[in-house]
Amino acid sequence: MTNPDAPERVMPDESPPATSRTSAPAPATAAALATPAVQGAKTGRSMSLEGLRAFYGDSQAIMGVDLHYAANEVTAMIGPSGCGKSTVLRCLNRMHEEIPGARAEGKVTLDDLDIYGPGVDVTSVRRAIGMVFQKPNPFPTMSIFDNVAAGLKLAGIKSSDTKEVVERSLRGAGLWDEVKDRLSQPGMGLSGGQQQRLCIARTIAVAPEVILMDEPCSALDPIATLKVEELILELKRDFTIIIVTHNMQQAARVSDTTAFFYLGELIEHAPTEKLFSTPEHPRTEEYVTGKFS
């Protein structure tokens, strides 16, 4: 759990009482976040960081970052190991605070809703902002079908037609044709690349606004990586995508804008082509040309 001395912005409890703080915008914010988005044709939402600082116990990992993630675009976050790009990503859906002793300060908004705002239910934040992890991690006790449906069940969404949602999600993740004849088989029986697309299907089943991806291809072979990258380009029509990657070619292939982090600070954020061809900051140039890593 989070540090008890955390400033009031951080809600250490999983479900803080909605009326615990009665600042004016809170109820509206909470209500907007708690309403599951309507499935089907929809657009993603933008996200913004204002003065984000993140800590692990006493050590500060993020030194105050301001960044805007445009709706329906792919934003890549790159940088050397330990630069804080994954920490920033985990602050975006409040998974950062799951690490014992970890806390975050500053403002993180989904459109104009403060996700760290008082009275905001953290489960509603995570429903609106889904996450795909580095290692494919289907639930080992569940079938392919149940893994996708688990998103709905775990989030407590009552769906009148789970079957339809599962099919649409698997199609959305480009996996339907490969698994439609063996939906009742265990999800762990799929290949690594298929497992990762299964996890993406699980994430989009709950109809989030934004999808966070934490090095989603680093455990995959080149062909599986290609499939996931093609999928990312398709997904951005419906979702805002924020991806952390240590692979600069991947960032160049999939993203619209790229943010370069170094030692917990945002060095530069620019359209991907510009960042890789004519970076403004010398540090960025050194990194993208491979002078250090």
Partner 1 sequence: MTAVLTPISSRRRATDRAARGVTLALTLLALVPLFLILYFLLKEGLGAFSMSFFTTDPTGRFLGNAGGIRSAIVGTVIIVGLATVIAVPLGIGVALYLVEYGKQSRFANAVRYFIDVMTGVPSVMFGLFIYIVLVVAQIDGTFAAWKGAIALSLLMLPVVARSSEVVLNLIPNALRESALALGAPRWRMIFRVVLPTALPGLVTGSMLAIARAAGETAPLLFTVAFVNGLSANVGQRMNSLPIQIFNDVSQAQDRLVQRAWGAALTLVLMILFVSLIARLVQRRSRLQP
With CB under 8 A as the contact rule, which of the stretches 65-73, 133-141, 260-268, 277-285 interacts with partner 1? 133-141
219 binds partner 1 (CB under 8 A): no
- Contact string (CB under 8 A) for partner 1, positions 13-32, x = contact: -xx-----------------
Residue 177, SS3 per DSSP:
helix
Burial group, residue 18, by CB count within 10 angstroms (0-12, 13-18, 19+): middle
151 binds partner 1 (CB under 8 A): yes
With CB under 8 A as the contact rule, which of the stretches 78-86, 130-138, 215-223, 265-273 interacts with partner 1? 130-138
Integer Cα distance of 169 and 184 in angstroms: 16
Q: Does residue 252 contact residue 276 with C-beta atoms inside 8 Å? A: yes
Q: Does residue 54 contact residue 104 with C-beta atoms inside 8 Å? A: yes
- Identified binder of partner 1 from the candidate list 9, 53, 107, 153, rule CB under 8 A: 153
- Indicate the residue among 31 and 154 with the shorter CB distance to partner 1: 154
Q: Which one-letter DSSP state was computed for residue 237?
A: T
What value, to the nearest 5°, has the Cα angle with vertex 285 and ends 284 and 288?
80
- Indicate the residue among 191 and 249 with the shorter CB distance to partner 1: 191
- Indicate the residue among 136 and 279 with the shorter CB distance to partner 1: 136
Smallest CA-to-CA distance from 267 within 241, 292, 233, 240 is with 292
96 Cβ neighbours under 8 A, 6+ residues apart: 54, 87, 90, 102, 103, 104
Nearest distance in Å: CB 280, partner 1? 34
Place of tokens 């992890």: 133
1 binds partner 1 (CB under 8 A): yes
57 binds partner 1 (CB under 8 A): no
CA dihedral of 60, 63, 67, 73, whole degrees rounded to 10: -40
150 binds partner 1 (CB under 8 A): yes
131 binds partner 1 (CB under 8 A): yes
- Indicate the residue among 210 and 267 with the shorter CB distance to partner 1: 210
Site for partner 1 in 256-275 (CB under 8 A): none
Nearest distance in Å: CB 267, partner 1? 28
Helix segments in 19-121, DSSP class H: 26-34, 85-91
- Indicate the residue among 54 and 267 with the shorter CB distance to partner 1: 54
> How many Cα atoms sit within 13 Å of 233 on the Cβ side?
10
203 binds partner 1 (CB under 8 A): yes
126 binds partner 1 (CB under 8 A): yes
| CA of residue 220 relative to chain centroid, distance | 19
- Identified binder of partner 1 from the candidate list 76, 206, 241, 254, rule CB under 8 A: 206
- Residues near partner 1 (CB under 8 A) are 1, 14-15, 93, 95, 98, 100, 123-127, 130-131, 133, 135, 137, 139-142, 150-151, 153-156, 188, 199, 202-203, 206
